[in-house]
Amino acid sequence: MKYKKTGMLIDSGHSRRQFLKLAGYGTLGLISGGLWPKLDGFAAEQTPDTEFVPDLDIFLSARPDEVSVLPGDPTRVWRYHATVHKGSRARIVEMSRSYLGPVIKVHRGEKIRIRFKNTVPEESIVHWHGLHVPAIMDGHPRDVVPQGQSHLYEFEVKNRAGTYWYHPHPHGRTGPQVYDGLAGLFLVSDQEEQYIGLPDGEYDVPLVIQDRTFDSGNQLVYMSGHRMARMAGFLGSTIMINGLPDFTLPVSTGAYRLRLLNGSNSRIYKLAWEDGRPLTILATDGGLLERPVFRRYAFLSPGERLEIWADFSDHPVGYETSLLSLPFDAGGMGGGMMMGGMMGQNQYPTNGAIFSVFKMKVTQTVKTNYRLPEMLSDIESARPEDAVNYFRPRQFHLTMQHMQWTINGRTFQMEEVADDEIVQLGSTEIWEFDNSGGGMMNMMNIPHPIHLHGKQFRVLERSGVAHEGYVDEGWKDTVLLMPGERIKILVDFDDYPGMFLYHCHNLEHEDMGMMRNYYVKG
């Protein structure tokens, strides 16, 4: 509790009403303050805002389910399930045979209503990772609902076209709930994207990368509660693509847009093609880059997305190649020694081991007309000189204290915001994250993927250890810091006041409190 002194407690009821008014949610304000999310069911008493006319209105539930993932017994999972109440049914695309939730497809500018019902036997709440939505629509852990109860989301899609996703965010339980299957993609399209004519339909392929460990009865095994294991994070023994093991994507002799999401709890992938061609990268977290960039390899840490262009038009039927994860040094605790010992039975024991993530196999000849565009999108150049703290960026040190990962020595407290976590609505700031362990490289330095809620940001600078596998171009919401690295990002807190999270997206780190609130003061 030593931070309570400098910390500022924010009354949730009061501040929510404030958010609602400021965010222009008019009549909703009257029934806010934590009252309406606690109501049961989707009945009329839940009172969706009558002034809010959704283009898409869906029911989304989290429920216990069973899927046949492996030969033999089905696997018990938790799974999102959705139905369309208003709007086109095509907006909800099931992932077949998967524990993953459906892909939700929206267009920029649309108004979305999502009536979430929690039917898993513990508290949960849905967060829209990467979406720019008002604080009360963001799925903060303070908004959790118990089993049987609901939460109403209403927001306008303001994001650029891109690959976003949704997952639970109850404090201390995000890791196990995502692990049990609760996650899904949220794809945004817009006019700019449609204009350039990227591969679509069956040539636009989402690939969610995760790792899971199964017991001999085909049931999921999460990590032991052992502190040391949680310090590193959970690593599963089987790589899953869209919820399936041993994944091979059959392709034709054409060009593909592959949308990769790292939905793993803590595993980092260093992606590269087995056949040695470079990765052609189209997009990152916040949508298309200005132009395609080429990398020999690219890191993809938990929470991050990369869209890549894969063209098989020069390859014969029967051609096969893998997307690999190459070896890398993940630092002291993430490295081999400890996890190898802890989880000795694992097929892919460590962060940084080499393995095939999935295969692509050419199975038919089809002529397509997709060509890699030279230009993808208009992206204004970042203007660090606009930052109010240009000469003194806000500092965030990622350190371990008393066997606990912290940000500036602090851990998550539900309603707490420290003085140095308050920003002014309408301002642009530079935030600097430091994973150098105070300058000393030591055994304890491990990678941390840092994620901000509320806003996409720009990466201005990365210093420390030089890796070439970062795609820091474009808009980001999650950024990997390897041991020894520091990065500066530029964030513009333009239009939504209120309390948002920032945290490490290693879900075991997040659950143990490597997460904090920041407060945008209106």
Residues forming the site for Cu ion (CB under 5 A): 129, 448, 453, 504, 506, 509
- Nearby residues of 381 by Cβ (< 8 Å), 6 or more positions away: none
CB of 327 to ligand C2O, least distance (A): 26
CB of 141 to ligand C2O, least distance (A): 9
Query: 3-state class of 476 per DSSP?
Result: strand
As a whole number of angstroms, the distance between CA 67 and CA 46 comes to: 32
As a whole number of angstroms, the distance between CA 454 and CA 517 comes to: 11
Under rule CB under 6 A, residue 330 binds ligand C2O: no
As a whole number of angstroms, the distance between CA 274 and CA 276 comes to: 5
Among 108, 453, 462, 509, binds ligand C2O (CB under 6 A): 453
As a whole number of angstroms, the distance between CA 450 and CA 232 comes to: 15
CB of 138 to ligand C2O, least distance (A): 9
Under rule CB under 6 A, residue 476 binds ligand C2O: no
Binding partner of residue 91 among ligand C2O, Cu ion, none, CB cut-off 5 to 8 Å per kind: none
Under rule CB under 6 A, residue 451 binds ligand C2O: yes
Half-sphere exposure in the Cβ direction for 507 (13 Å, CA):
29
- Which residue's C-beta sits nearest to ligand C2O? 129
Among 503, 508, 512, 519, binds ligand C2O (CB under 6 A): 503
Taking contact as CB under 6 A, which single stretch among the options 11-19, 96-104, 111-119, 499-507 is the one that binds ligand C2O?
499-507
Among 20, 244, 501, 520, binds ligand C2O (CB under 6 A): 501
Question: Is 149 or 399 the residue whose CB approaches Cu ion more closely?
Answer: 399
CB of 511 to ligand C2O, least distance (A): 11
- Nearby residues of 260 by Cβ (< 8 Å), 6 or more positions away: 207, 209, 271, 300, 305, 306, 307, 308
CB of 49 to ligand C2O, least distance (A): 25
Question: Is 199 or 303 the residue whose CB approaches ligand C2O more closely?
Answer: 303
Q: In whole angstroms, how far apart are CA 37 and each of 44, 367, 415?
A: 13, 51, 18
Q: Enter the DSSP assignment of 515.
A: E
Tokens of 73: 């017994």
Among 17, 108, 129, 295, binds ligand C2O (CB under 6 A): 129
Binding partner of residue 501 among Cu ion, ligand C2O, none, CB cut-off 5 to 8 Å per kind: ligand C2O
Pairing of strands 7-9, 269-273: unpaired
Pairing of strands 150-156, 111-118: antiparallel
As a whole number of angstroms, the distance between CA 216 and CA 444 comes to: 34
Taking contact as CB under 6 A, which single stretch among the options 14-22, 179-187, 480-488, 497-505 is the one that binds ligand C2O?
497-505
Check: CB of residue 31 under 8 Å from CB of residue 46: no
- Which residue's C-beta sits nearest to Cu ion? 504
Q: Positive or negative, the Cα torsion across 48, 49, 51, 55?
A: negative
Q: For residue 308, give the amino acid letter.
A: I
Check: CB of residue 23 under 8 Å from CB of residue 500: no
Among 167, 257, 295, 488, binds ligand C2O (CB under 6 A): 167
Binding partner of residue 169 among ligand C2O, Cu ion, none, CB cut-off 5 to 8 Å per kind: ligand C2O
As a whole number of angstroms, the distance between CA 479 and CA 439 comes to: 20
Binding partner of residue 504 among Cu ion, ligand C2O, none, CB cut-off 5 to 8 Å per kind: Cu ion
Question: Is 223 or 261 the residue whose CB approaches ligand C2O more closely?
Answer: 261
- Nearby residues of 459 by Cβ (< 8 Å), 6 or more positions away: 472, 473, 476, 479, 487, 488, 489
CB of 262 to Cu ion, least distance (A): 13
User: Which residue's structure tokens are 């605790």?
Assistant: 333
Q: Restricting to residues 190-229, which ones interact with ligand C2O according to CB under 6 A?
A: none
Q: Restricting to residues 279-318, which ones interact with ligand C2O according to CB under 6 A?
A: 303
CB of 452 to ligand C2O, least distance (A): 9
CB of 285 to ligand C2O, least distance (A): 10
Binding partner of residue 303 among ligand C2O, Cu ion, none, CB cut-off 5 to 8 Å per kind: ligand C2O
Instruction: List contacts with ligand C2O (CB under 6 A).
Output: 127, 129, 167, 169, 303, 451, 453, 501, 503, 505
